[in-house]
Amino acid sequence: MNIKLVVVGKVKEKYFRNGIAEYEKRMSRFGKFKIVQVPDEKAPESLSQAEMDAVMEKEGQRILSKIGDREYVIALAILGKELSSEEFAAKIKDLTTYGHSDITFVIGGSLGLSPQVLQRADFEMSFGRFTLPHQLIRLVLCEQIYRAFMINQGSPYHK
């Protein structure tokens, strides 16, 4: 199994990096896990819609360049489907059961994901309607992927 996160921007805070590194280490026993960072597009605070679209387009092209044709893509999007941890674990299990050994999660930049990235996604998932920092979402996603593996293994970690 290959799990990949394609993410926009770097994690600046050490405590987030440490948490993400811990889950990367834990997940190594379940297969290959890697995070691919693409640069974020510099954008001033006040942008027109056309400028926002251009930023998302550039970031989207960078994201798409890191996704292979055979990868099953789960995009994190605020309007995506909300899943419980158990439902998420079942989704991962179903994907691997039905031949999807390469699963890629995508986290966009501060403006979100371009229409092209959302179109490429096989599934859109949401962690709710809260607005959360991308660095925190990265850590939460890593923990939830790990939790999904533990649920599927029948581990007491989930309790």
Residues 144, 98 contacting (CB under 8 angstroms): no
pLDDT at 157 > cutoff 90 = no
Residues 92, 149 contacting (CB under 8 angstroms): yes
108 known member of a binding site: yes
Comparing CA positions, the residue from 125, 16, 20, 133 lying closest to residue 73 is 125
What does the buried/exposed string (b/e) look like for 8-22 if buried means 16 or more CB atoms within 10 Å of the residue's CB? bbebeeeebeebbee
Residue bearing tokens 């939830």: 144
pLDDT digit string (tens) for 17-56?
Answer: 999 999 999 999 999 999 999 999 988 788 889 999 999 9
DSSP annotation of 67? -
- Which domain range does residue 25 map to? 2-158
| CA–CA dist 108, 3 (Å, integer) | 17
Residue-level pLDDT at 132: 85
pLDDT band with cut points at 50, 70 and 90 for residue 10: very high
CATH number at residue 89: 3.40.1280.10
pLDDT digit string (tens) for 119-146?
Answer: 999 999 999 988 888 899 999 999 999 9
Upper half-sphere CA count for residue 8 (Cβ side, 13 Å): 27
The two three-digit tokens of residue 114, written as one number:
């371009």
Overall domain count for the chain: 1
76 known member of a binding site: yes
| CA–CA dist 19, 41 (Å, integer) | 25
Residue-level pLDDT at 113: 96
pLDDT band with cut points at 50, 70 and 90 for residue 159: low
Residues 75, 45 contacting (CB under 8 angstroms): no
